[in-house]
């Protein structure tokens, strides 16, 4: 007999899991289909940075805070490892310090919880930060570190136990004609299909994706050996290059001059969209990245030149003796130039929710809450 669900979800990445949670906690019967034995996309390949401070003021930042509140609830309930580390943006040049100070000056109006710390205060928080020529930095309290590999592997079990969500792994959804879903050679009945297929634009509704304006972005990443408790970086870290990457800094008057400086002095970093961030997980492994290559430039083969550039810049602000890189990988996400999160209704009962570019871990639960509330006519 064909099994019946209220909602079916395509993809067990963080967007699929967030929609499963938002629906199941409303008492709905939910099934999640994942084509692999476990999710292997962007959601397990990232830094695990829940990073509200990187979102532009207004709806994106408010959605990030809403997402953060939901994350904290479910991380506490599920017992999955996380740390409220906060974050530091470090300034080693006057222009970097100027951008950060301009951002902080607007914080009373924009709502960010951030302050300027001088060099001594920063090295007190994180003794592994290079004090030489350090001018200071922006401390923000809202960021949370998770381990994406553990969270994305652990949440299905918890969602099943706590809310009865059913998971069907090794099952690619190949068609939906309301109310029937075809996946893994079987059929199911469902009123709604939420398509959270990440960077797969081809399997379901390719014509909707083709008209969407979505594009693909590849990032190179690395992970160090585990340091246990012998070396902790403290807050999650970013430095000057990041100021040109996140849109939260876009209105700072000194940003164009900083961007010009990087274009003149560090063209390789600009060419590969490199900015350096670091997070540290339960066993002390440090996740380091990243670079940005787009669409036709995306190749399955990583560039060692990019990894060298990343490690060279990292060593300017992080002093880690005997840093060994144990893992290197890349990840690809879907992005949209204008939309916080591109959505579409390609057929009766079906909603596509694209990855919200490089901020999906941060935004997922806030976005899912808003989409599910709207779909169920709650406001
Ligand atoms: C290297 C890297 C670093 C990042 N760092 C951060 C960070 O620190 N903080 C942050 O907020 N964001 C970060 N991001 C962005 C974030 O990881 C993504 O926005 C988010 O993971 C996207 O989630 P998703 O569920 O949409 O996609 P995915 O994680 O790609 O999941 C999609 C899933 O759908 C499955 N699927 C696809 N089609 C089908 C089908 N037809 N049937 C069944 N299953 C299907 C796939 O197998 C996959 O598991 C980073 C991204 C990358 C790549």
pLDDT at site 103: 98
Please give the pLDDT value at position 2. 82
- Residue 220 scores a pLDDT above 70: yes
Integer Cα distance of 277 and 222 in angstroms: 11
Q: Which CATH class, in words, describes the domain spanning 87-141+215-335? A: alpha beta
Q: Kindly report, residue by residue over 28-82, the tens digit of the pLDDT.
A: 999 999 999 999 999 999 999 999 999 999 999 999 999 999 999 999 999 999 9
Residue 1 has pLDDT above 70, yes or no: no
CA–CA dist 251, 232 (Å, integer): 33
- Please name which of 28, 62, 108, 73 lies closest in space to residue 366, comparing C-alpha atoms: 62
Beta strands in the chain, from DSSP E residues, in sequence order: 3-10, 30-33, 49-50, 82-83, 87-91, 114-117, 136-140, 144-146, 166-168, 173-177, 180-183, 186-195, 215-224, 236-238, 277-280, 286-289, 293-294, 325-335, 343-347, 350-353
For 318, list phi and psi in degrees, rounded to 5. Answer: -120, 125
**Cβ < 6 Å from ligand 1: which residues?**
10-16, 33-36, 39-43, 45-49, 51, 172-173, 196-200, 203-204, 219, 221, 289-290, 331, 333, 355-356, 358-362
Place of tokens 């060099």: 119
Q: Whose CA is nearest to atom 6 of ligand 1?
A: 46
> In the chain, where are the structural domains located?
3-44+149-212+340-375, 87-141+215-335
CA-220 nearest atom, ligand 1: 1
Residue nearest to atom 39 of ligand 1 (CA): 197
Per-residue pLDDT reduced to its tens digit, 88-120: 999 999 999 999 999 999 999 999 999 999 999
Q: By percentage, how much of the chain surpasses pLDDT 70? A: 100
Q: Which helix (H) or strand (E) holds 163?
A: helix 148-163
């401070």: which residue's tokens?
Answer: 53
Please give the distance, rounded to the nearest whole angstrom, from the Cα atom of residue 234 to the centre of ligand 1. 26
Instruction: Find the 71 Cα to ligand 1 centroid distance in Å.
Output: 17
Indicate the Cα dihedral angle 351, 357, 363, 365, nearest 10°. 40
Residue 286 vs residues 55, 143, 145, 181, 292: alpha-carbon distances, Å? 23, 16, 11, 41, 20
- CA geometry: angle at 8 spanning 179 and 371, to 5°? 105
Ligand 1 mean position, distance from CA 256 (Å): 31
Distance CA 158, CA 147 (A): 16
Between the CA of 356 and the centroid of ligand 1 the distance, in Å, is 9
> Which residue out of 8, 9, 11, 366 has the highest number of ligand 1 atoms within 8 Å of its CB and is therefore the one to mutate?
11
Could you tell me which of 348, 273, 370 has the C-alpha nearest to residue 313? 273
- Please tell me the CATH superfamily of domain 3-44+149-212+340-375, with its number: FAD/NAD(P)-binding domain (3.50.50.60)
Q: Select from 208, 220, 339, 361 the residue to mutate for testing ligand 1; criterion: most ligand atoms less than 8 Å from CB.
A: 361
């Amino acid at each position: 007999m064909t099994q019946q669900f209220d909602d079916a979800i395509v993809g067990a990445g963080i967007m699929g899991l967030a929609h499963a949670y938002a629906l199941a906690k409303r008492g709905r019967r939910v099934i999640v289909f994942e084509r692999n034995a476990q999710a292997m996309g962007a959601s397990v390949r990232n830094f695990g940075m829940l990073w509200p401070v990187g979102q532009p003021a207004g709806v994106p930042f408010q959605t990030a805070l809403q997402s953060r509140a939901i994350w904290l609830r479910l991380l506490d309930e599920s017992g999955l490892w996380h740390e409220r580390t906060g974050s530091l943006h470090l300034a080693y040049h006057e222009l970097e310090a100027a951008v950060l100070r301009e951002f902080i000056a607007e914080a009373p109006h924009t709502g960010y919880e951030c302050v300027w710390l001088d060099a001594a205060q920063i090295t007190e928080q994180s003794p592994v930060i290079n004090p030489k020529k350090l001018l200071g930095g922006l401390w923000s309290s809202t960021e949370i570190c998770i381990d994406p590999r553990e969270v994305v592997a652990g949440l299905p079990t918890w969602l099943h136990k706590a809310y009865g969500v059913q998971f069907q792994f090794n099952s690619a959804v190949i068609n939906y004609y309301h109310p029937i879903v075809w996946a893994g050679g079987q059929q199911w009945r469902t009123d709604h299909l939420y398509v959270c297929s990440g960077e797969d634009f081809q399997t379901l509704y390719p014509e909707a994706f083709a008209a969407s304006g979505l594009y693909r972005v590849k990032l190179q990443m690395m992970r160090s050996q585990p340091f246990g408790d012998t070396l902790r970086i403290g807050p999650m870290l970013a430095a000057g290059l990041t100021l040109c990457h996140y849109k939260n800094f876009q209105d700072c008057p000194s940003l164009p001059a900083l961007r010009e400086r990087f274009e003149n002095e560090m063209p390789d970093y600009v060419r590969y969209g490199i900015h350096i961030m670091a997070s540290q997980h339960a066993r002390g492994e440090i996740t380091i990245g990243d670079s940005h290559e787009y669409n036709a430039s995306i190749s399955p083969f990583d560039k060692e030149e990019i990894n060298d550039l990343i490690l060279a810049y990292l060593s300017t602000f992080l002093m880690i003796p005997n840093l060994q890189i144990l893992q290197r990988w890349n990840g690809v996400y879907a992005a949209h130039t204008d939309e916080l999160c591109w959505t579409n209704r390609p057929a009766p009962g079906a909603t596509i929710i694209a990855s919200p570019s490089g901020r999906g871990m941060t935004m997922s639960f806030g976005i899912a809450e808003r989409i599910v509330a709207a779909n169920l006519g709650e406001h």
